[in-house]
């Protein structure tokens, strides 16, 4: 898979949190808007955790924008945003997801097929 840096790709992000979710997602959204000015967000939805290590429900949204950056460059930027919002490595062990931002699609390439196929992702795609 080769991504040309002079070609715009439509990027799809999945954003989720199960700890102070609305606050943390709102913080992430503000940072994402500063980083990717043309970004748009889906409606939010609540989902039950699919893994037993997580107790609390998740608030999830999608985000879409066009970029010339490669998926790896976008991932580096979103990881910095996750850290700025308050994500730390120990959180997963405690069943907390302060914020999780994943690049699930770049152009026509689905980078995280399991995430992309989730029912809530398919539903949120219709809310842009």
CA 67 to chain centre: 15
Contact residues for 112 (Cβ-Cβ < 8 A; gap 6+): 14, 102, 103, 104, 105
Q: How confident is the model at residue 6 (pLDDT cuts 50, 70, 90)?
A: low
**Angle of helix 21-35 versus helix 71-85 axis, rounded to 10:** 140
**Comparison of pLDDT for 66 and 3, the residue scoring more:** 66
Q: Delineate the domains of the chain, giving CATH numbers in brackets.
A: 9-127 (3.30.70.560)
Cβ–Cβ under 8 Å, residues 67 and 11: yes
Q: For the segment 35-63, what is each residue's pLDDT rounded down to a tens digit?
A: 999 999 999 999 988 777 788 899 999 99
Helix (H) or strand (E) holding 58: strand 58-67
pLDDT for res 56 = 86
Has this prediction a pTM greater than 0.85?
A: yes
Sign for the CA dihedral angle at 121, 125, 127, 128 comes to positive
Residues in the chain: 128
């Amino acid at each position: 898979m080769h991504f040309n840096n002079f070609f715009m790709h439509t990027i799809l992000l999945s954003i989720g949190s199960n700890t102070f979710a609305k606050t943390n997602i709102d913080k992430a959204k503000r940072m994402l808007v500063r980083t990717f000015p043309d970004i748009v967000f889906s409606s939010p939805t609540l989902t039950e955790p699919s893994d037993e290590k997580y107790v609390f429900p998740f608030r999830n949204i999608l985000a879409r924008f066009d970029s010339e950056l490669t998926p790896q460059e976008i991932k580096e930027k979103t990881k910095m945003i996750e850290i700025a919002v308050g994500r730390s490595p120990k959180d997963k062990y405690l069943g907390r997801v302060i914020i999780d931002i994943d690049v699930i699609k770049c152009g026509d390439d689905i980078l995280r097929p399991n995430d992309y196929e989730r029912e809530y992702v398919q539903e949120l795609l219709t809310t842009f």
